[in-house]
Structure 1
């Protein structure tokens, strides 16, 4: 499994973050203009353990800069979710929720400060989508944060992924709202956009929400395969497919979706496109302990 998703830059910035080398982290981030690509790099830093221990010093050392504020906020969002874990709410303790919410509130202060200093940046709004879901700001506020992100970067994959999560039934939305959002986003996106992933994710999310038996019945409907095929044709199978940051995750998502529907030939096409590289998401939905094992099992079933 490739944690860097085929992007050497992600590995380099993670190594710098692990070494608490703010200078190297800052230099790599400033080489990229504020964009979806930089969001991915910041996310790699945000997922790195112990960044919370040294990033406050960078904030203090550069009082006029938005970048350390952004990184501090992003790390605290991920650090908060680490405390909560991915368990259902009924399996999260009161103490975990308290730590979760405290860290998210700290994150929001830093992220809003970064957004105020750099009003054209999209990344603060991406992470505010994540913190807002945890703080249960509600659908109206969440929508405003998503809209703030896409005003700055209309086809930002991460921002759309976060809004899709917000519209899931488990977060107070509905299956209907989730699918409508995914379909509209894909149809309004340029041909070859990575946003095609949203349709596959929406079907996977509904499958996850259903009980055993009903989940297989749902994915067995002919309309599901047709929906996935249309999205893939507008995305990964289009001649103008945009191989930007995250493209491997998009291929892996379609591979999993077609595997779940039992469309082995279509799944095989998607597995071929991954070049044998596994991304943790979405395979961790099938095997949180070993996403690569889930990938291999389904790739084998597809005859790859």
Structure 2
């Protein structure tokens, strides 16, 4: 694929000498893709040996402490792991088939498998009983409802049904990032080109959420849709900058060089680059440290880690000789294709 982001950097022409950018915090060879955090890493090591008990304990702890954002991420990662190393999942199923954590991972695994099939919509309809079973495990848990929202999008469910799922999800956790991302993706798929409406939804969610909630990054996620779709250029530049600013403020509250906020920072770096704010994009890449994430780079390349490193290298070189320029007002310029 064409490296569109690296090409975009050519538009950042020098106007006066710039202060050289600091070198990256880590060398290219030390950057890892989609690294697990400190809690998940030993669980995956055990799962590789076929031992499911740490996975069950981790998900039980997230439910006990209402750590819904962590629970959501762990369920996704365990389902991905189970696709290629299923022994731990089979042992878990055999020993405790009614474990709420197992039911969630199983439902996520089934949705993931169906999603990759040309017969996605039909296969996803067959998965519905698994999601229903997972939703019965803990009536406070929003993660089954995030899964149901994703399922509804893939199954091309109607708006009324989706709204019922959405109401059930926000009753359980009104500021759950995963559920809001699922809703945003449904809106984007259902109302193609309705970028203003998607941004409206994301802005309202962020305004209602605490300052340290991941939802503060939802407008930046909506801005990504505007910036990668030619029909999104009618969104005022000021709104896109405001979405990025909100995510920058969130990033400043989160620990540096840590796997947990890595996806937020990778997304934000991409958005800032598309908004021609390279110095701020570089700062997000510095903060993300050794942790690249597949999203959003997988949208541009089959090699997301390589693409991240190429963009990072091109940005570093550009900032050594060019003045960081942050344009405001109007619509984004030179977004690349």
TM-score, normalised on structure 2? 0.73
Higher helix share: 1
Question: What does residue 127 of structure 1 align with?
Answer: 147
User: Matched residues in 1 for 2:42 and 2:126: separation?
Assistant: 27
Please say if 1:112 is aligned against 2:132.
yes
Other-structure match for 2:80:
47
CA displacement, residues 218-265 of structure 1 (integer Å, 9 cap, x when unaligned): 68x64255323432354223xx44889741111111100011122112
Q: CA RMSD in A?
A: 2.9
Of the structure 1 ranges 241-250 and 67-76, higher mean CA displacement relative to structure 2 is found in 241-250
Superposed, 1:254-293 pairs within 5 Å as 254-287=268-301, 289-293=302-306
Alignment of 1:222-237 (within 5 A): 222-237=237-252
Written as runs of structure 1 = structure 2, the 5 A alignment for 1:79-228 is 79-81=113-115, 83-84=116-117, 96-97=118-119, 100-168=120-188, 170-172=189-191, 174-210=194-230, 222-228=237-243
Q: When the two structures are aligned, how many residues end up with a matched partner?
A: 281
Show CA shifts across 1:82-125 (max 9, x none): x23xxxxxxxxxxx21xx34542343211211212421222211
Q: Hey, what's the Cα distance between the residues in 2 that align with 1:166 and 1:43?
A: 19
Specify the alignment match of 2:40 in structure 1. Answer: 10
Structure 2 unaligned residues grouped into runs of 5+: 1-30, 320-337
- The secondary structure found in structure 1 opposite 2:127 is helix
Greater radius of gyration (CA): 2
Distance 1:159 1:118 in 2: 16
Secondary structure of residue in 1 paired with 2:32: coil
Over 3 Å counting, the alpha-carbon distance change for 1:51 and 1:127 in structure 2 is: farther
Give the structure 2 partner of residue 252 of structure 1.
Answer: 266
Q: In the TM superposition, what is the alpha-carbon distance from 1:195 to its structure 2 partner?
A: 1.6
Q: Which moved more, 1:141-150 or 1:278-287?
A: 141-150
Q: What's the TM-score, normalizing by structure 1?
A: 0.80
- Go from structure 1 to structure 2 and tell me whether the alpha carbon gap of 1:147 and 1:241 turns closer, same or farther (over 3 Å shift): farther
Partners in 1 of 2:103 and 2:175 — Cα distance? Answer: 24
- C-alpha distance 15-223 of structure 1, shift in aligned 2 (>3 A): same
Give the Cα separation in 2 of the matches to 1:205 and 1:250. Answer: 15
Comparing both chains, which one has the higher relative contact order based on Cα–Cα distances under 8 Å and sequence gaps of 6 or more? 2
SS in 2 for 1:286: coil
Shift of 1:134: 0.7
Aligned to 1:74: 108
